[in-house]
Structure 1
Amino acid sequence: MIVLKNLTLRRGPKIVLQGANLTLNPGEKVGLVGRNGAGKSSLFALLTHRLQADAGDFSIPPRWRMAEVAQNMPETDQPATAFVLEGDTRLMEAQAALAAAEAADDGNAIGEAHGLLAEVGAFDASPRAQALMLGLGFKSAQLDAPVNSFSGGWRMRLQLARALMCPSDLLLLDEPTNHLDLDALVWLEAWLQRYEGTMLVISHDREFLDAITRVTVHLEETQLTRYGGNYSAFEGMRAERMSQQQAAFGRQQEKVAQLQRFIDRFKAKASKAKQAQSRVKALERMEKIAPVLTAADFAFEFREPDNLPNPMLAMREMRCGYAVEGGEPITIVRDIDRSVMPGQRIGILGANGQGKSTLVKTLARALPALGGSVTEGKGLAIGYFAQQEMDVLTPESGPMEHMIRLAKQVSPGAREQELRNFLGQFRFTGDMVHQPVGSLSGGEKARLVLAMIVWQRPNLLLLDEPTNHLDLATREALSLALNEFEGTVMLVSHDRALLREVCDEFWLVTAGGVREFDGDLDDYQRWLLEQSREQARAYAQAARGATAAPTVVEATAKPSKAPDEPVDRREDRKAQAQARQRAAEQARPLKAEFGKLEARLATAVPERDALAASLSDPSLTAAERAERGKRLKLLSEQIETFETRWLELGEAIEALSATA
């Protein structure tokens, strides 16, 4: 078991834990919760021995094998499956033992190494690794692609698959759902429910925690408190505990006041001096109960919009995608005919890469529409939360500078003290208002973007994964604020609790289009499952068709062996031939676009790498460095778009080839 006893832990000058106690039993699935910055990741660092306790005792079984998701972005051209396989540390040790035995030409050691390889499951290791990757959303065409051909979010999925591949006794997961869409998240839940070791999870997704944990550890004010139950149970128990503590505090305050009154009244009287002194000692011995502190709870609200255009937006045959410098634009979503009305609460669903963010960016004017039209209602005011907060923030500027620039655009009469007070509502106080944004945590950047949106008084909110870096308390505050908002909300999120609480209708972005999804989130999860089954059936049918082809050739070569072939079988073959012809025709333009993308990537990737390397040149002026930085950002975004489309095309071509 894991035991912390009177433990003190520092992270630099900050005390993370002080006199903390905790016991975790083998096989327990534990959710670690607390505010951003409370020290949850520091506790993980203690468990993995990257940090040492400053005082107290800490013990963990020495033979336990630990796995965690590495936070670094891997830079390697190693095939993806091979990269994930390296997470199986027992397999790596067995392979190293075999290599050493073969190098020493030791027959006995070679035999033992082969036995060890069989014991650790070397012969089905690759299929196991690929099953993890497919579950996390990778397509079959991507399984052996180089790791550095993937964008950042997909590389983090590879790191997650690598951690799951490890045959661990203790699994540490720090925000594992941040880069997952709903189908991959549901698959991960099912996998973790079957995991047999001890597991600690840091997550701000309450439904995820409810599904996989049975113990909750709350880190607050340098103390660890254990609760038996998942996150919802923890909330109820903590509320009851806080209520009892508040009542006990009130009773103790009455007792303290009574003792103090006696002391004050009789301490100068000789006849009562002894009794007064005993009251003083009783007051000193009393173990003080702390009041329940709620002042730190975060809450905000969106201001009432000045007006509500009707309709807010009208899209007619709109096409979304990316313009390509020196080439034809790439369309991701096409032929969108939809309107957005006042007061709607729209959740935008769809797998990663289908175009959800592209649609939102186009509506937010961050990308121009590639075709069709987008008509905005008179007086439309958009509040846009970008998935990557730094798309709307400047790293070297502080929160106050951001607010001053914003105020000059939307409210020139605002005074600096008014802006400072406003930032204080979002937990930016003191010198923190001048701290460069680049040094802020993900949660702090998200709060700053929310503050800037609130100040603009929008009537249409376009929110692209707003909860990625928010703690649970801030997510609750956002949910309440959105429900009270009088304007329209369009929300992209993998946070099911937020989608359930805020949205009353859903749009589905899939297969290059946008349509209304008739159902709720549970229906969507069932739809995802059915889609997966249909895809599996299609692949199986295609495989059967491929294996049946030689038999058909043999039958036509030797008709005497099949003189009475049924007509419907001949019709089936004719239909299959027509289907293969149609598939080949459909694949032709896809292959042409695939080839163009490969050519563009072949020139764009070296250019990006050269630009990145040139930024370290000390002779560059500030203006030159800024210009190259902007060019690098634009080029990186284009490459990520190219890569996503390249992978989509590869998958589509592979699927069509299976029927050709």
Structure 2
Amino acid sequence: MIILKNVALRRGTKVLLDNASVTLNPGEKVGLVGRNGAGKSSLFAVLNGSLHEDGGDVSIPSQWRMSQVAQDMPETVQTATEFVVEGDAILLAAQREVTEAEAGEDYMRMAHAYTALNDAGAHDAPARAQALILGLGFSVAELQQPVNSFSGGWRMRLQLARALMCPSDLLLLDEPTNHLDLDALVWLEAWLKQYAGTMVVISHDREFLDAVTTVTLHVDNAKLVRYGGNYSKFEYMRAEQLTLQQAAQAKQQEKMAHLQKFIDRFKAKASKAKQAQSRVKALERMEKIAPVLADADFQFEFKEPMSLPNSMLSMTGAAFGYPAMDGAPADTPPTVIVRNVNRTVLAGQRIGILGANGQGKSTLVKTVAEALQAVGGEIIRGKGLNIGYFSQQELDVLRPEDDPLQHMFRLARDTPAAMRPSANDCREQGLRNFLGTFNFSGDMVKQAVGSMSGGEKARLVLCMIVWQRPNLLLLDEPTNHLDLTTREALSVALNEFEGSVMLVSHDRALLRAVCDEFWMVSRGGVSDFAGDLDDYQVYLLEEAKRRREEAAGKR
């Protein structure tokens, strides 16, 4: 077992742990949670030996094999399969022993080495590696492509596959879902449920934590507090504690009353559709953990839209894709990914967009946002339509050398006069005040964006969207860099938003809490998805199984 006894841990002058103790038993699946800066990653560094405690004792069985995801970006011409196979440290050691025994012509050593190589699973290692790679969303055609040919996010998926390939007794996962879409995430959950060793995971995805953990370790006020159960159980127990501690605080009661007001309003609005019932359950959860939400240090809300056109937009025979590349012959047709879409978005609709990786979800949203032009058909936008668009690449749009205040000045200047807030809101003090509501205050408003964390950049993008008072929100993976507290704040804000929402996300808690209906982007078209997210997970697992069987047939 892992035993931490009276541990002290400091980074610079900041005390992260002070006289903290906890015991983790073999085979337990532990979710490590706490506010940003509380010391979660530093505790990971203590567990993997890259950082030493400043006091107390940390005991981990010496015979335990440890695996974790390497954080460096791999640079190699090895194929994806070869790279992941090399994650199996035991197999690699057995192969080296065979090579050395053969070189020394030591036949007894060779016999033992060949036995060890067989025991390490050399005969099926490529197949095991390829099952991991395919599960994480790669295609069969990509199994033999060089690692260097993939983008950064896909290379990090290969690092994750490599960590899973390595036999281990202790698996440390720090934000393993960051580069995954929903189909890969569902597969990873299924894999981790079968993992036999001890696991400690940091994640900002509450449904992922619920699915794969049985213990929650909370880093709180420099202590380690252990809770039996997954993240939802931790939330409920934490809510009970906060209710007892803070029942007399007027501010707490005011926040809880505000939460209760919107919960009641949207529960009453929800239809009987299966998807809407998922949303009712999500709101009921918020009701139970209202003290936790109210205790959060960050909340925001969308301003009331200036108008609500109905319909927001309509698509007739629309096709989505990419125009021919520059330099291609004039008669080169565009690349069409999704075709013949006939859809209408009405005021107040809350649509979750589902689909396996590569089916065209982001392409659809980009085209509605006019970041791409439709390659066929017609999209008619309602009079007064004002889109707030958060794209997966939105953080790249920020100017790294500029600070938040400069971004807001530029936004105020470029926003059409009819859509701007009052003149005072566009002046420096008004913009400073608005940034303050998103936790950008004091020196932070003058800090270069390039030096900020991913979460801070995402918060700035949300701030800029809210300032524009949109009536249609197009959100493509808005939670990728957000911690649990900010995700909850976004969920509350979206539920209070009076406009329409189109949401692509692998955060199922957000989809459940916000969306009343789902569109499925699949096989070149868009259709209604009649089930809820539980049905969709079953569909994704069946698709993953089909891909693995297809790959096995081609090997």
Counterpart of 1:372?
377
Counterpart of 1:407?
412
Q: Which has the higher helix share?
A: 1
Equivalents in 1 of 2:544, 2:239: separation in Å? 41
Counterpart of 2:138?
138
Give the aligned residue type for 1:505: E
Q: How does 1:171-182 map to 2 (within 5 A)?
A: 171-182=171-182
SS of 1:164 mapped into structure 2:
helix
Query: Is 1:337 the counterpart of 2:349 in the alignment?
Result: no
Partners of 1:214 and 1:230 within 8 A in 2: yes
After superposition, what is the alpha-carbon deviation per residue over 1:63-95, rounded to whole angstroms, capped at 9, x for unaligned?
221111122221211011111111111001111
SS of 2:178 mapped into structure 1:
coil
Equivalents in 2 of 1:249, 1:402: separation in Å? 37
Counterpart of 1:60?
60
Give the aligned residue type for 1:379: G
Bigger RCO (CA 8 Å, 6+ sep): 2
Equivalents in 1 of 2:549, 2:188: separation in Å? 22
Gaps of 5+ in 2: 251-291
Cα 1:172–1:537 shift into 2, 3 Å: closer
Using the TM superposition, give the Cα deviation of residue 533 of structure 1 relative to its aligned residue in structure 2, in angstroms: 6.0
Partners of 1:34 and 1:471 within 8 A in 2: no
Give the aligned residue type for 1:239: A
Using the TM superposition, give the Cα deviation of residue 534 of structure 1 relative to its aligned residue in structure 2, in angstroms: 6.1
Counterpart of 1:279?
none
Partners of 1:135 and 1:188 within 8 A in 2: yes
Equivalents in 2 of 1:345, 1:502: separation in Å? 7
Counterpart of 2:356?
351
Give the aligned residue type for 2:142: Q
Equivalents in 2 of 1:373, 1:136: separation in Å? 35
Equivalents in 1 of 2:89, 2:450: separation in Å? 36
- Seq. identity, %: 68
Q: How does 1:550-569 map to 2 (within 5 A)?
A: none
Equivalents in 1 of 2:86, 2:548: separation in Å? 28
Q: Which moved more, 1:510-519 or 1:467-476?
A: 510-519
Greater Rg, structure 1 or structure 2? 1
Cα 1:217–1:81 shift into 2, 3 Å: same
Counterpart of 1:417?
429
Q: How does 1:160-199 map to 2 (within 5 A)?
A: 160-199=160-199
Counterpart of 2:32?
32
Aligned pairs, number:
502
Partners of 2:473 and 2:502 within 8 A in 1: yes
Equivalents in 2 of 1:103, 1:513: separation in Å? 59
Q: How does 1:42-81 map to 2 (within 5 A)?
A: 42-81=42-81
Give the aligned residue type for 1:91: L
Using the TM superposition, give the Cα deviation of residue 99 of structure 1 relative to its aligned residue in structure 2, in angstroms: 1.3
1:442 to 450, 454, 468: 454
Counterpart of 2:508?
496
Cα 1:424–1:493 shift into 2, 3 Å: same
SS of 2:298 mapped into structure 1:
coil
After superposition, what is the alpha-carbon deviation per residue over 1:106-140, rounded to whole angstroms, capped at 9, x for unaligned?
22221111111122121121211112122222222
Partners of 1:347 and 1:490 within 8 A in 2: yes
RMSD after superposition: 2.4
Query: Is 1:464 the counterpart of 2:465 in the alignment?
Result: no
Partners of 1:386 and 1:392 within 8 A in 2: no
Counterpart of 1:300?
300
Counterpart of 2:278?
none
Partners of 2:395 and 2:458 within 8 A in 1: no
Using the TM superposition, give the Cα deviation of residue 301 of structure 1 relative to its aligned residue in structure 2, in angstroms: 0.7
Using the TM superposition, give the Cα deviation of residue 248 of structure 1 relative to its aligned residue in structure 2, in angstroms: 11
Counterpart of 1:455?
467
Gaps of 5+ in 1: 251-291, 544-653
Equivalents in 2 of 1:450, 1:539: separation in Å? 41
Cα 1:422–1:188 shift into 2, 3 Å: same
After superposition, what is the alpha-carbon deviation per residue over 1:589-620, rounded to whole angstroms, capped at 9, x for unaligned?
xxxxxxxxxxxxxxxxxxxxxxxxxxxxxxxx
Give the aligned residue type for 2:354: L
Give the aligned residue type for 1:192: L
After superposition, what is the alpha-carbon deviation per residue over 1:147-196, rounded to whole angstroms, capped at 9, x for unaligned?
12222222221111111111111101111122222222222111111111
Using the TM superposition, give the Cα deviation of residue 495 of structure 1 relative to its aligned residue in structure 2, in angstroms: 0.8
Partners of 2:65 and 2:170 within 8 A in 1: yes
Q: TM-score, normalised by structure 2?
A: 0.86
SS of 2:58 mapped into structure 1:
strand
Cα 1:536–1:211 shift into 2, 3 Å: closer
Counterpart of 1:271?
none
Counterpart of 1:483?
495
After superposition, what is the alpha-carbon deviation per residue over 1:379-418, rounded to whole angstroms, capped at 9, x for unaligned?
1111011112323311111111111111223338222122
SS of 2:337 mapped into structure 1:
strand
Give the aligned residue type for 2:24: L
Using the TM superposition, give the Cα deviation of residue 14 of structure 1 relative to its aligned residue in structure 2, in angstroms: 3.4
Counterpart of 2:126?
126
Give the aligned residue type for 2:468: Q
After superposition, what is the alpha-carbon deviation per residue over 1:418-467, rounded to whole angstroms, capped at 9, x for unaligned?
21121111111211111111111111111111111110000000000011
Counterpart of 1:233?
233
1:381 to 367, 381, 386: 386
After superposition, what is the alpha-carbon deviation per residue over 1:200-240, rounded to whole angstroms, capped at 9, x for unaligned?
01111111111111100111232221111111110111122
SS of 1:362 mapped into structure 2:
helix
Partners of 1:68 and 1:172 within 8 A in 2: yes
SS of 1:15 mapped into structure 2:
strand
Cα 1:537–1:146 shift into 2, 3 Å: closer
Counterpart of 1:5?
5
Equivalents in 2 of 1:445, 1:535: separation in Å? 36
Equivalents in 2 of 1:76, 1:293: separation in Å? 45
